[in-house]
Structure 1
Amino acid sequence: MKSIIADKDGAVPEGGVQETASRWALLGLALSMLLPFLGVSSANVALPTLIEVFSASFGQVQWVVLSYLLTITIVIVNAGRLGDLLGHKRVLLGGIMLFTAASILCSVAPTLPVLIAARALQGLGGAVLMALTVALVRDAVPEERTGSAMGLLGSMSAIGTALGPSLGGLLIAGPGWRGIFLVMVPLGILAFLLVRRYLPEDASREAAKRKAFDLWGTLFLGLTLAAYALALTAGGEDFDRVRPILILMSLICGGLFLLVEARASAPLIRLAAFRDVELSAGLMMTALVSTVMMATLIVGPFYLSRGLGLEEMMVGAVMSVGPGVSVLCGVPAGRVVDRLGASATVMIGLVVMAAGVVALIVLPPIGGVAGYIAAIALLAPGYQLFQAANNTSVMAGVPQERRGVVSGLLSLSRNLGFITGASVMGALFTFASARAGISASGPEVATIGMKVAFIAAAGLIAMAIILSIGSRVLSKLDWRSGPPDDATRRDR
């Protein structure tokens, strides 16, 4: 980026000032993206400690993680819509404040119920951060650098995922489990100051404020997502008995949500927006790809320990390769988007991911740990290419007053993919391993389960490639029939 250099009269060129402000604004957004992912990954490592500290069962302490994830999933679209109504910058600042205050509350929680409640509040703030950072990229940087900015945000999410376990372990060994939450406070304060000082104000805030908030749509969407997420994530005999009821409730509430949105004068989600094939395909591809990436996090540790016989420390080291590669590839992936365009880069990313999934099926049984690492090192750059390009593509045609809700939908698609991947792909691995266990030994059982899971993952990537090709073809056909009018743009 350009540096600020005063001219001969001592004045600072306007371009240099804008460039510096853009840099600091992007740093504020990057920290805003880091915090919620750090909140997910760092708390996981504290669960064994929390069992001892609060004399609780695993089923009880897992709600420290579940309350955070469920809150994010349930409210993320509403957080984006709130940004559309009240101003993206204003709501983001409120989200950072809430996340930071909730982190303090987590660090001083005297009992497990208080900690779980504080984590839900932290998840509420995290939903705002996830929804609005992507929505604000186009306000922070020039259009020609949007891809690079999206790549940076992808790197920050990967850093949060990779850094959380190691940082959490160090803090637990040092100041204790409370330090896991307290360390987020100075990061939150810095993000708040940078966003407040350097991010420009919303141009369309006054117009957006006059629109109504869709209360019934918000209620039914929240119930739909809560029931679905609980059905797939919560464990234990109690939830096993009510799981079918939760799935049925999700379907019923989802139907009521669609009915309400079709009749609402100011709907939370404009159903007409899904006529845009690029938007619909982008959201569906995000869910499919996220399901595949979660499969690596769920199936990978079991295969490495049971199939390859690695000890826990080595499993952790190998599992850190994927996030580590993602961190390094995020910004270069964004630059590829700026150079080649979003549509072409989406396809490149999906093809690289397909090669990585096939490599996961073929290489580990042949090359052991080295084969697994090589496959993951191929899959991770493909994911970063896809993520930077797809985010750029989805947000490119969205008007200012709808960026928050569309960004929220993008984050929701990713989260639902993660939840589905954790449940379905994990169950598929377990089922295939159990069937193989009838006639195979321990390592062979894990290998068969891994192959079946990633064959399914390859099918999901193939579906994403078909969606990408189909959306490009249909978009060209739509364009030949005439450019979209203003009403269509507003619907999106």
Structure 2
Amino acid sequence: MAGLRLGTTYLRSREKMKSISIRGALASLSLSMLLSSLGTSIANVGLPTLAEAFSASFEQVQWVVLAYLLAITALIVSVGRLGDMIGRRRLLLIGIWVFTVASILCALAPHLWLLIAARALQGVGAAIMMALTMALVGGAVPKEKTGSAMGVLGTMSAIGTSLGPTLGGFLIANPGWQAIFLINVPLGVLAIGLVYRFLPDDRHERRADRAGFDVLGTLVLVLTLLAYALAMTLRRGGPGSLNAALLVVAVVGMGVFVFVEHTTESPLVRLTMFRNWQMSAGFVMSMLVTTVVMATMVVGPFYLTGALALNAASVGLAMSTGPLVAALAGVPAGRWVDRLGTYRAGKTGLIAMLTGACILPALPMAFGVPGYIVPLAVMTAGYALFQAANNTAVMLEVEAPQRGMVSGLLGLSRNLGLITGASVMGAVFAFGTASDDILQAQPEAIAQGMRMTFAVAAGLILAALVLGAVSKIVSRRLIAPC
């Protein structure tokens, strides 16, 4: 009897320790996600102060933000693949160290160009963290809890995005602009400690066919993504010979990349992977849906100011609805994914987004600010559910040795959606207003631009729904017995 009790106590102790280890691992991944998203949003609010501190123009100081985003976009797939080769836990630790040291260099930068260089280095660390956090979920939590873990990561990303402007404004007003970078240092040190303590070593998952890193493919992909990102961001993606030339370079570069990957022995991205319809659809759907989310961020301030006549403070409060809902909905969304399954949960999220996109242009004219906030909340909650479901579906399809690369592709699809949405949806809104200067446009013209923008947004969401349904049907037929 005493032996039975001892055995029971031992099993309970093991289960408790296992639970603590899982929570610690998830905490380390969550903090890594928070750091990378906080680095994206916290610098935006500091641009006017940085322009004054370095006696620079807005065109010059905006590279403090662009350098970070370009580094992430260009490198996120490559570092994911590198993590698969040398060990994702090891590379994540390197990424956090790089991000932390770069944050110190940002705060100490005596010249603007040094600050921009340090921000690019910080973006390298952020790319590693973004690429590997989702990849490491598979080895850190049980398979049946993957959806919940993805929901937690989505929550931390939303918290970082929403906290950045508020925290950045407070730090600039008190210690000074250097503090918006130094705040990362204690958080980075804490993340490193948590990763060391709780994340399991995954080097045993490395592939046996380590033929080498695809240097040529990596270089071509980095240059291609840089060309596309610059085409979408320079002059706010407006028409121009430079933007057009960069787009041509991006298209040609993608063709060259496909050729290189077909001919090399150890490709950066195995193109045969895209024969998996569910995985390929997941990447495209992520880009389409994130493009729509970016539309709310780009168009929202103009609509709230021009059509609803809100002041800056009220606009900020209304715009904070999206990140706040995303932060609150992330964990419940993950649990819904575990209960409903990835396809049903993803479809439910897209239907919620489609509903919000359809009613967003109409309700504010009848109900004012509440008519804007409610559809925005519906869209954001739907997005949180879709992202948790889509990320889970894609990552569950991946063999362990390729998790880093596939996680990087997921991150890339989101980044490309954000970049494309900022440019294309902004252009659609400007076209819809039929005004040379949006700031001087009449309320009815702005409302018309809003209707056109979200008509396009609804079309993109509908395309994602159709693509998800088709991929599900094709996947079922492929696995059905002959």
State if a TM-score over 0.5 links the two structures: yes
Superposition TM-score, scaled by structure 2 size: 0.96
Equivalence map 1:75-90=2 (5 Å): 75-90=75-90
Name the CA distance, whole Å, in 2 between partners of 1:409 and 1:11. Answer: 40
Contact 2:295–2:425 at 8 Å: present in 1 too?
Answer: yes
Aligned residue in 2 for 1:486: none
Name the CA distance, whole Å, in 2 between partners of 1:355 and 1:228. Answer: 31
Name the CA distance, whole Å, in 2 between partners of 1:10 and 1:276. Answer: 44
Name the CA distance, whole Å, in 2 between partners of 1:317 and 1:257. Answer: 44
Does structure 1 residue 21 correspond to structure 2 residue 49? no
CA deviation profile, 1:451-492 (whole Å, cap 9, x unmatched): 11111000000000000100110001101156xxxxxxxxxx
Name the CA distance, whole Å, in 2 between partners of 1:257 and 1:124. Answer: 21
Aligned residue in 1 for 2:468: 468
Q: 1:217 to 1:371 in 2, by over 3 A?
A: same
Aligned residue in 2 for 1:110: 110
How big is the shift at 1:361?
2.1
Aligned residue in 2 for 1:390: 390
Contact 2:49–2:177 at 8 Å: present in 1 too?
Answer: yes
Aligned residue in 2 for 1:101: 101
How big is the shift at 1:211?
3.4
Name the CA distance, whole Å, in 2 between partners of 1:133 and 1:191. Answer: 12
Other structure's SS at 1:125 match: helix
CA deviation profile, 1:409-459 (whole Å, cap 9, x unmatched): 000000000000000000111111125999x96111111111111110000
Q: 1:175 to 1:480 in 2, by over 3 A?
A: same
* Matched letter for residue 45 of structure 2: V
Q: 1:50 to 1:411 in 2, by over 3 A?
A: same
Q: 1:450 to 1:266 in 2, by over 3 A?
A: same
Name the CA distance, whole Å, in 2 between partners of 1:206 and 1:390. Answer: 25
Q: 1:253 to 1:188 in 2, by over 3 A?
A: same
Contact 1:99–1:125 at 8 Å: present in 2 too?
Answer: yes
CA deviation profile, 1:338-377 (whole Å, cap 9, x unmatched): 1111111111110011011112122112211110001111
Does structure 1 residue 447 correspond to structure 2 residue 437? no
* Matched letter for residue 27 of structure 2: L
Contact 2:361–2:447 at 8 Å: present in 1 too?
Answer: no
Aligned residue in 1 for 2:308: 308
How big is the shift at 1:241?
3.4
Which consecutive aligned stretches of 4+ in structure 1 deviate over 3 angstroms post-superposition?
6-12, 203-209, 236-241, 435-438
Equivalence map 1:425-440=2 (5 Å): 425-434=425-434
* Matched letter for residue 140 of structure 2: A
Q: Which moved more, 1:471-480 or 1:205-214?
A: 205-214
Aligned residue in 1 for 2:243: 243
How big is the shift at 1:130?
0.5
Does structure 1 residue 407 correspond to structure 2 residue 434? no
Aligned residue in 2 for 1:138: 138
Name the CA distance, whole Å, in 2 between partners of 1:84 and 1:199. Answer: 15
Aligned residue in 2 for 1:122: 122
Q: 1:208 to 1:161 in 2, by over 3 A?
A: farther
Q: 1:474 to 1:11 in 2, by over 3 A?
A: closer
CA deviation profile, 1:81-125 (whole Å, cap 9, x unmatched): 000000010111100110011011111111100000000000000
* Matched letter for residue 216 of structure 1: L
Percent identity over paired residues? 54
Contact 2:238–2:423 at 8 Å: present in 1 too?
Answer: no
Does structure 1 residue 184 correspond to structure 2 residue 174? no
* Matched letter for residue 464 of structure 2: A
Equivalence map 1:50-449=2 (5 Å): 50-202=50-202, 204-207=204-207, 210-235=210-235, 240-434=240-434, 442-449=442-449
Does structure 1 residue 31 correspond to structure 2 residue 31? yes
How big is the shift at 1:29?
0.2
Q: 1:112 to 1:158 in 2, by over 3 A?
A: same
List runs of 5+ in structure 2 lacking aligned partners.
1-5
RMSD of aligned Cα (Å): 2.0
Superposition TM-score, scaled by structure 1 size: 0.94
How big is the shift at 1:204?
3.3
How big is the shift at 1:240?
3.5
Aligned residue in 1 for 2:3: none
Other structure's SS at 1:234 match: helix
How big is the shift at 1:210?
2.5
Contact 2:343–2:389 at 8 Å: present in 1 too?
Answer: yes
Q: 1:131 to 1:437 in 2, by over 3 A?
A: closer
Contact 1:318–1:373 at 8 Å: present in 2 too?
Answer: yes
